[in-house]
Amino acid sequence: MPTLKITPRSGDQISVEAATGQTLMEVLRERGDVEALCGGQCACATCHVHIDATWMSIVGEPGETETELLGFSMEKQQNSRLSCQIHLSDAMDGLTLAIAAAEG
Ligand code: FES
């Protein structure tokens, strides 16, 4: 059961417990942190997050479709990921991330 350290758009970092096997987007959507308009189909980019750089090797790099979609974002950084494409595991206990600013 990983505990996540999330910085929402509104400010201060909070700790949130998540279930292994959930996607990161599901956790964030439930909290109202992201809209996730496409429901996790890697088609909207409204679940965009910035992963703390020290966690990128655990979380991994975005896939081809995800990279393409992130390419349209003004908020894209080297540590950008779409949270619907991240399946939480016990190895992600302590995962630290910030919600990217809303676009459009
Ligand atoms: S929820 Fe639409 S791309 Fe992640």
Residue 43 lies in a domain: yes
> CA–CA separation, 21 vs 103, rounded Å?
28
Residue 88 alpha carbon to ligand 1 centre in Å: 16
Residues 32-60 have pLDDT tens digits of 999 999 999 999 999 999 999 999 999 99
Per the structure, the count of domains in the chain is 1
> CA–CA separation, 94 vs 36, rounded Å?
23
> CA–CA separation, 65 vs 86, rounded Å?
14
Residues 71-92 have pLDDT tens digits of 999 999 999 999 999 999 999 9
> CA–CA separation, 104 vs 92, rounded Å?
31
Residue 78 lies in a domain: yes
Q: What is the CATH number of the domain that holds 79?
A: 3.10.20.30
Residue 9 lies in a domain: yes
Residue 104 lies in a domain: no
- Tell whether ligand 1 has an atom less than 6 A from the beta carbon of residue 80: no
With 90 as the cut, is the pLDDT of residue 104 above it? no
- Tell whether ligand 1 has an atom less than 6 A from the beta carbon of residue 28: no
- Position 103 confidence tier, pLDDT thresholds 50, 70, 90: confident
Query: Is pTM, for the whole model, over 0.85?
Result: yes
Residue 23 lies in a domain: yes
Q: Domain containing 30: what range?
A: 3-99
For residue 74, the one-letter residue type is: M
